[in-house]
Amino acid sequence: MKRPKILISGGGTGGHIFPALSIANALRDRLNAEILFVGADNRMEMERVPKAGYEIIGLPVAGFDRKRLWRNVSVLLKLRRSISMARRIIRDFKPDIAIGVGGYASGPTLKAAQKYGIPTLLQEQNSYAGVTNKLLSRRAKAICVAYDGMERFFPAETIIKTGNPVRKDLLDDTLTVAAARERFGLDAERPVILVVGGSLGSLTLNESMEHGVSKLTEAGYQVIWQTGKYFTKERGLAAAKGLKGVVVTQFVTDMAAAYKAATLVVSRAGAGSISELELLGKPCILVPSPNVAEDHQTKNAMALVNVGAAVMVADKDARADLINAILRLMADPRALEDMSRNIRTLGISGSDDKIVDQVIKIINHSPKS
């Protein structure tokens, strides 16, 4: 097979970008593929993708404002420009296949690819499919999913359960628990609670910690607290002032060590985070974000709760209940052990290679190949 040209589109959050980069790395390693990313201007992918060594083109596309409808005039104009740009990108790059990972840019880009007869593959991370992927699925050659029951949204004959790709460094880590805790300047012997709300941060998780972190340290626990971009690190440091065994950081740069150090993880319920927790076998409390389409994070969380693989605290209840939920679970080693075992059974390893297998199959059967 000649060196393939592959277009990957999507992003907006780490939950879309990290799987996209994992797929790109596997395509590069196995096929020596020429890869072009298409993302949304002013979104996280415009920084992260070039840092990973890939070219990216940004579209002016933006999401619809459901609360302030008058703002959608500009959104529609941006969408029109993005569709025109996407068609030009497809004509110029001439990809052998286009892969959509979700996010604003994937809609116009994958639609343009389908218009020009380029085969498309979709990667749906969540247990509840997004509107864009549902619309694109009718003409997609394959839809790679992480959950059962996705025939509710997609043509059954195109669904392949591959799981969600995760960052390789998380799985290749060889640190001991003690060494991981010492890397954060923590006591190697004392339990650690890792609190992460994504790279932008979760106001709910941060305010819950702000008011309750002292209760966790009083109970003898240590904390790694990632505040994210919008809740300032200084505010977190003020809440943790005088408390022993609390690490406050805007962004955890070594997630492999943070996960290894953790006895319990408190997290939003994005599909990427859940896939990481599954593969690492980490007990977790999930606080789904209410600010996502179709409340899909609650559905992601419930898929774990229903098999005893996680505890869920609703966002509206978290400020009052989250700290107590952490204390209850940390006081029950048997529950933590059961949860670790149950969540590990849900993990699917080698997802990036499974997706590349599908890419190869599609390219080989394409009239253009």
pLDDT of the residue at 193? 98
Q: What separation in angstroms does the CA of 57 have from each of 47, 92, 122?
A: 11, 12, 19
d(CA 170, CA 251): 16
pLDDT tens readout for residues 67-105: 666 567 777 888 899 999 999 999 999 999 999 998 888
User: Residue 119 contacts by C-beta under 8 Å, 6 or more apart in sequence?
Assistant: 96, 97, 98, 113, 141, 362, 363, 366
Integer angstrom CA distances of residue 317 from 53, 195, 324: 42, 17, 11
User: Is residue 295 over pLDDT 90?
Assistant: no
SS3 66: coil
Q: Alpha helix locations (H) across the chain?
A: 14-31, 45-51, 72-93, 106-115, 131-136, 168-172, 177-183, 203-218, 233-240, 255-261, 271-280, 296-305, 315-330, 333-344, 351-364
Query: 44 is written with which tokens?
Result: 């996280």
What are φ and ψ of residue 246, in 5° steps? -120, 120
pLDDT digits (tens, 9 = 90+) for 160-217: 999 999 888 888 888 999 999 999 999 999 999 999 987 667 889 999 999 999 999 9
pLDDT at 2 over 90: no
Q: What integer pLDDT is reported at residue 14 of this predicted model?
A: 66
pLDDT band at 65 (very low <50, low <70, confident <90, very high): low
Instruction: Give residue 246's pLDDT band: very low, low, confident or very high (50, 70, 90).
Output: very high
More confident residue, 133 or 67: 133
Q: How far apart are CA 332 and CA 222, in angstroms?
A: 16
What b-and-e string marks burial along 255-280, b requiring 16 or more CB atoms within 10 Å of the CB? bbbbbbbbbbbbbbbbbbbbbbbbbb
Task: List the domains of the chain with CATH numbers.
Answer: 5-165+350-364 (3.40.50.2000), 169-344 (3.40.50.2000)
Chain mean pLDDT for the chain: 91
Say which residue the tokens 């286009």 belong to: 98
What is residue 294's predicted lDDT score, i.e. its pLDDT? 75
Higher pLDDT, residue 61 or 311: 311
For 12, phi and psi rounded to 5 degrees? 105, -45
Q: How many CB atoms lie within 10 A of CB 250?
A: 17
